[in-house]
Amino acid sequence: MKGQTGTCELCLREGARLTEHHLIPREEGGTHLETGMLCSPCHRQIHNLYTNQELALRLGTIERLRDDEKIKKFLKWIKKQPATASVKMKKSNERKRKRR
């Protein structure tokens, strides 16, 4: 569901515009599995840092995502940003080298 506002399950910012994130990506068999509601910056950052296979194999819960070293620095930073802030994202160099 796009367009709804609330609390991001990953960064815990309130009043953020939320998007639905499939914890196991759809192309990896997660079409009808659990989802999480994330703010757009968190959702984009996840897909910029990790391949769908990585998400399916080792990061299939909000807790696992939150505890992963690659995203911890981002979460620390984004928590300080207003929920309405527009944030630009880039794929990590490591992610650019990997194929989906």
- Tens of pLDDT, residue by residue over 9-33, are 999 999 999 999 998 888 877 688 8
CB 20 within 8 A of CB 37: yes
Annotate 22-78 with DSSP letters as a single string: ESS-GGGTTTTS-EEEEEHHHHHHHHHH--HHHHHHH--SHHHHHH-HHHHHHHHHH
Q: Which residue has the higher pLDDT, 67 or 25?
A: 67
Task: Return the number of other C-beta atoms located less than 10 Å from residue 63's C-beta.
Answer: 11
Residues 42-51: tens digit of each pLDDT = 999 999 999 8
User: What is the pLDDT of the chain when averaged over all its residues?
Assistant: 85
pLDDT confidence band for 91 (50 / 70 / 90): low
